[in-house]
Structure 1
Amino acid sequence: MRLPVFLLLLTMVFAASNSMGASKGEEEHQKIIDSGQIYDDPELQAYINRIGQSLVANSDKPKGKFTFTVLDSGVINAFAAPNGFIYVSRGLLPFMDSEEELAGVIGHEIGHVTGNHHGRRGRADITSKIVATTAYILTGSGDLAEASTMYGAELISGFGRDMELEADGLGAEYMYKTGYDPQALLEVIGVLKDQEQFQRVKARATGKPAGTYHGLYASHPRNDKRLQTVIRKAGELDLDEYVESPEQAGEFRRHIEGLVWGESVQGQREENRYYHSKLAFTFEHPEGWSVKSSSKAVVASSADGRTSLTITLRRKDSSKTPESVLKSSASGDFSEAAALEQAGLQGYCAIASSNGVAKRLAVIDYNYTYLLQGESADFAANDPVLLEIIKSFRPTHPKEKQAGTPRYIHYIQVPRGATFASIASSIRIPYAEDQLRLLNGMYPRGEPRTGDWIKVIR
């Protein structure tokens, strides 16, 4: 698995110097996209972007262009690149308990950009070497030991104490102006300090070096007077009017529920086949076609754009058959209707014709009810292609996800008498109890109360 190595080197690249310029930042961002490092969850990506853009609007660069991206990495990290590219690793998200805490992480990284910390750090002399190293990692060769030995651990040590403190102050200010409680930033840093403590304990046991999140300080936030002072000042700013928190009840939990834990599940995949990681479905498409995913639909299109298949979904109603759903959601005359049975899934397809326009329609029941609509400028010639795509729709196979068992974050209510140790006994991962404690803010000690909602790994 090369992704954590790639992420570490990417941090080195982007922290190097502002001399990379806008074009270089965009070029490196495109490399991330092209190499499949983006976490495949459009709704989560949109959620992170909404939080980020709301903070930017209340920053020192409200008109600045910022791009927020969730990386498909189990590494606990977030970092800012020059020119407003900000990245949050999937692995960091489960350790947050609220949108406010997540806003604290993002606000801190925005502060690095608005504070021009990349330019002030002055690493222009090594930028070209680090860019070359990133390309080296992207090819799949090399490892962390080689990379860190070649260019030195100081390249990944963050921006230094004063700049980190400034980023916290700026981030807290942006949070307050947006309607978030800046005290949540202290909670975030406390969570990350707990993670650092765990890494040190584990390192002593294994004899390996311990890592750290780049924004952490030597002391715990509850004991850091300078940190407490800059965050308190943010909460004392005079605003012209009261700003209501943008956080919506239940939204943060909804995005964390079902989040991939640990290793990526986006590996071992065939060419000319699209995979949706969160919804766990896949379909085959002709060579040269492209697939775009958004929070509303997945659209597969031919190279010339004249033929396409659009997939949307709705909650499954057990009282309705795929046939009844198709006929109630479409209009026109139906022909070539047939039941579908593929990979254990039940469905129904037909051609619907209206006003001289024909479309290939299908409904397939899986974890949701999926509605597929195919259309083409030359429907007669391309309907067989659309039908083949529809018939290739199936659940994602475990072998297409990863070696071993994929794991996800879920929320449960604590049963009577349960402890972290008893809950962890059924979770087959190393340091299961410690991981549960870290996920729920109770490391290294403490027990949940009966009926409390906690995060577990399954």
Structure 2
Amino acid sequence: MRCFGRGALAIVCLAALAGCGSFNAEKPAPQPIVPPSAPKVVGPPTAVSQEQARIAAAYGGVYDKPELTALLNSVADRLAATSDRPDLRYKVTLLNSPLVNAFALPNGSLYVTRGLLAIANDTSEVAAVLAHEMAHVTARHAFQRADEERKAVLVSRVVSDVLEDREAGAVALAKSKLSLASFSRSQELEADRIGVQNIARAGFDPYGASRFLLSMGRQTELRSAALGQKPAQPGLDFLSTHPSTPERVQLAVSAARQIGAPGLGERDRDRYLAALDGLVYGDDPSQGYARGRRFLHPRLGFTFMAPEGFIFENGSEALLGVAPDGRALRLDAARLGSGQSLDGYIQEGWIEGTEPGPVERLDINGMEAVTIVAKGSEWTFRFVAVKFGADVYRLIFAARELTPEIDAGFRASLSSFRRLSQAEIDSARPLRIETETVRPGETDATFAARMALPDRAVERFAVLNGFAPGEPLRAGAKVKVVRE
């Protein structure tokens, strides 16, 4: 686990960790930190370019599931043959990340995360994702955007340097950024339109795009609700790089209706679910498992519980936790400097921008630890450093007002930090997607009761399978469930 920046007030940014996933991201986001011994990329390093290796490493490596990767590449081949550039060839790489994302490089390399595939429910939905990314390539969107960015920088420099008006240069740059956002937004909508047309030509159901976009939007809303956050209001992302999901769903439906009524084309749900069966769902073993309030990391050998009301999120540089009332926590690890004590470490590295209190020494389940309380302008923090072998695990608890009751919850959470027994390590298993056949009389509640999910199991089952809330299940149909 990587160490983080010194500024303690940075923890207030935790509320932003529930950002919306999208299958049109322009650049990869980092994956949760893994121990150095964890494998990064499947296969020899010489088999991928430097850029491809960087992308794979940022997303936890390549996920090895041959039957699913073969299905993805067969779909890409069909789409390429009916695209505007049938001479181009594509290769799909499956990334080991729970994030919902897909993107393409101009050379035809397509990347899809297992988190995205978990939401998709048939081959036509996956085809819609791939066709969207292929449209970015055939329409040369990356080159167009790079050209627009160069123009924006040139305009601001001319105004600022040549005309010697820095204020006007800043205004020009701001206007250019708004123009770029609108430009990128129009590219996303264009890629959606081209993608729907392409999957129809390839024989897939053109309504697969709207179904997947709807599931993606519902997944985002469910994730926000679990973290105690309000869903984004319509229209607030008008100038964002990616258009709002409702707008994209509407466009995708309109594009499909121009082709024909629902019922056209191939969906092939059973084939897709068969290839998906056994896929790791959520955190990979190398990242540790965040299960509701509990976090355990079998490879690093520790576990602890967050205070009441918290939900964990395995972040890009640390384990994060938030509660609906604004409380937050962060956990990561570092190494002490030569001859450095815990007392010196906690005072030297964590108190920028705060007023620290006295150092308190603790024994946490046989491990040496120190803690201090530090007050910032708007937040109060409890910093903790726990000696764990050669590492130091660092916890930050944050609240706008550190009342005795809240601090008692923080201390209880701290007291739960302990080593895992060998039996616990051996029994820890990742969550996986399994496919089952609906039997007569079974409902969404029937399957939700058998799911290894800590909360909102009925809602999660519906979103996972693309069902409307309360939709009756058809006997004989295949469904996805999450099991440990």
Q: TM-score, normalised by structure 1?
A: 0.51
Quote the residue 2:460 is aligned against.
Answer: 435
8 Å Cα contact 2:205-2:266 kept in structure 1: no
Amino acid at match of 1:419: T
- How far did 1:232 drift? 3.5
Q: Counterparts of 1:89 and 1:216 in 2: how far apart (Å)?
A: 21
Counterpart CA distance in 2 for 1:104 and 1:64 is 18
Of residues 199, 211, 224 in structure 2, which corresponds to 1:175?
199
Task: Indicate the SS of the match to 1:83.
Answer: coil
Correspondence for 2:134: 110
Q: How does 1:235-384 map to 2 (within 5 A)?
A: 250-265=270-285
Paired residues for 1:25-44 under 5 Å: 26-33=49-56, 37-44=61-68
Matching residue of 2:255: 230
Q: Distance between the aligned counterparts of 2:464 and 2:253, measured in 1? A: 24
Displacement of 1:39: 0.6
Pair 1:446-2:467 in alignment:
no
Q: Does structure 2 retain, via aligned residues, the 8 Å contact 1:67–1:85? A: yes
Pairing partner for 2:213 from 162, 179, 189? 189
**Matched ranges for 1:21-100 at <5 A:** 26-33=49-56, 37-100=61-124
Whether contact under 8 Å (1:414, 1:454) holds in the other structure is yes
> Would you say the 8 A contact 1:111–1:167 is kept in 2?
yes
For residues 164 and 13 of structure 1, do their structure 2 counterparts lie closer, same or farther at Cα, with a shift above 3 Å needed?
Answer: closer
* Deviation digits for residues 63-107 of structure 1 (CA, Å, limit 9, x no counterpart): 124231111111122222333222111011122221111101111
Separation (CA, whole Å) in 2 of partners of 1:166 and 1:39: 30
Instruction: Summarize the Cα distance change of 1:404–1:159 in structure 2 as closer, same or farther, 3 Å threshold.
Output: farther
User: 1:451: Cα distance to partner?
Assistant: 4.6
Residues in 2 aligned to 1:450 and 1:248: alpha-carbon distance in whole angstroms: 17
Residues in 2 aligned to 1:157 and 1:447: alpha-carbon distance in whole angstroms? 42
- Deviation track 1:387-441 (CA, whole Å, cap 9, x = no partner) reads xxxxxxxxxx9959xx943111112233454432343234332332221111122
Distance in 2 (CA, whole Å) between partners of 1:416 and 1:171 is: 38
The answer on whether the counterparts of 2:120 and 2:126 sit within 8 Å (CA) in structure 1 is: yes
1:235, distance to aligned residue in structure 2 (A): 5.5
State the secondary structure of the residue aligned to 2:104: strand
Q: Distance in 2 between matches of 1:166 and 1:12?
A: 15
Unaligned runs of at least 5 residues, structure 2: 3-17, 30-47, 151-176, 289-422
Cα deviation digits, residues 220-279 of structure 1 (max 9, x gap): 666x2x44333334559xxxxxxx9677684212111111111124669xxxxxxxxxxx
Distance (whole Å) between structure 1 residues aligned to residue 121 and residue 269 of structure 2: 13
In structure 2, what residue type is equivalent to 1:219? P
Distance 1:253 1:218 in 2: 25
Distance 1:398 1:439 in 2: 29
Whole-Å separation in 2 of the counterparts to 1:103 and 1:398:
41
CA contact (8 A) 1:32 1:38 kept: no
How many pairs were matched up?
A: 280
Letter in 2 for 1:84: G
Change (3 A) 1:164 1:445: farther
Structure 1 residues 199 and 248: CA distance shift in structure 2, 3 A: closer
Q: 1:208 to 1:103 in 2, by over 3 A?
A: closer
Residue in structure 1 matched with residue 447 of structure 2 by the alignment: 423
Q: What amino acid is aligned across from residue 278 of structure 2 in structure 1?
A: G
Distance 1:93 1:159 in 2: 28
**What is the identity, as a one-letter code, of the residue corresponding to 1:30?**
A
Whole-angstrom CA distance in 2 between matches of 1:57 and 1:219: 30
Does the 8 Å contact 1:434/1:443 carry over to 2? no
Query: For 1:228, what is the secondary structure of its paired residue?
Result: helix
Identity of aligned residues (%): 29
Q: Would the aligned equivalents of 1:95 and 1:191 in 2 still touch at CA under 8 Å?
A: yes
Runs of 5+ unmatched residues, structure 1: 16-24, 126-152, 237-243, 269-396
Q: Secondary structure at the match of 1:82?
A: coil
CA distance in 1, matches of 2:49, 2:258: 35
Local SS of the residue matching 1:97: coil
Is 2:480 aligned against 1:455?
Answer: yes
1:146-185 equivalence runs, <5 A:
160-185=184-209
CA contact (8 A) 1:169 1:234 kept: no
CA distance 1:398–1:182, change in 2 (3 Å): farther
Give the Cα–Cα distance (whole angstroms) in 1 for the partners of residues 282 and 195 of structure 2: 28
Give the partner amino acid of 1:31. Answer: R
**Does the residue aligned with 1:457 lie in a helix, a strand or coil?**
strand
Tell me which amino acid in the other structure corresponds to 1:166. Answer: E
Shift in alpha-carbon separation, 1:451–1:32, aligned structure 2, 3 A: same
Indicate the SS of the match to 1:219: helix
What secondary structure is seen at the aligned counterpart in 1 of 2:246? coil
What is the alpha-carbon distance in structure 2 between the residues aligned to residue 234 and residue 450 of structure 1?
Answer: 31
Shift of the alpha carbon at 1:119? 2.0
Quote the Cα distance in structure 2 between the aligned partners of 1:14 and 1:267. Answer: 18
Separation in 2 of the partners of 1:408 and 1:398? 19
Check 1:417–1:157 CA distance in 2 against 1; reply closer, same or farther (3 A cut): farther
Answering whether residue 421 of structure 2 is matched by residue 407 of structure 1, we say: no
Query: 1:246, 1:164 → 2: CA distance?
Result: 24
- Report the CA distance shift for 1:44/1:160 in structure 2 as closer, same or farther (over 3 A): same
Change (3 A) 1:417 1:406: same
SS for the counterpart of 2:103 is strand
- Partner of 1:405: helix, strand, or coil? coil
Q: Does 2:222 match 1:198?
A: yes
Structure 1 residue runs of 4+, over 6 Å off? 156-159, 207-210, 244-249
Which amino acid is the alignment partner of residue 441 of structure 1? G
Deviation digits for residues 333-391 of structure 1, max 9, x if unmatched? xxxxxxxxxxxxxxxxxxxxxxxxxxxxxxxxxxxxxxxxxxxxxxxxxxxxxxxxxxx
Asked if the contact 1:175–1:181 (Cα under 8 Å) also holds between the matched residues in 2, the reply is yes
Q: Tell me: CA distance 1:27–1:120, structure 2 relative to 1, closer, same or farther (3 Å).
A: same
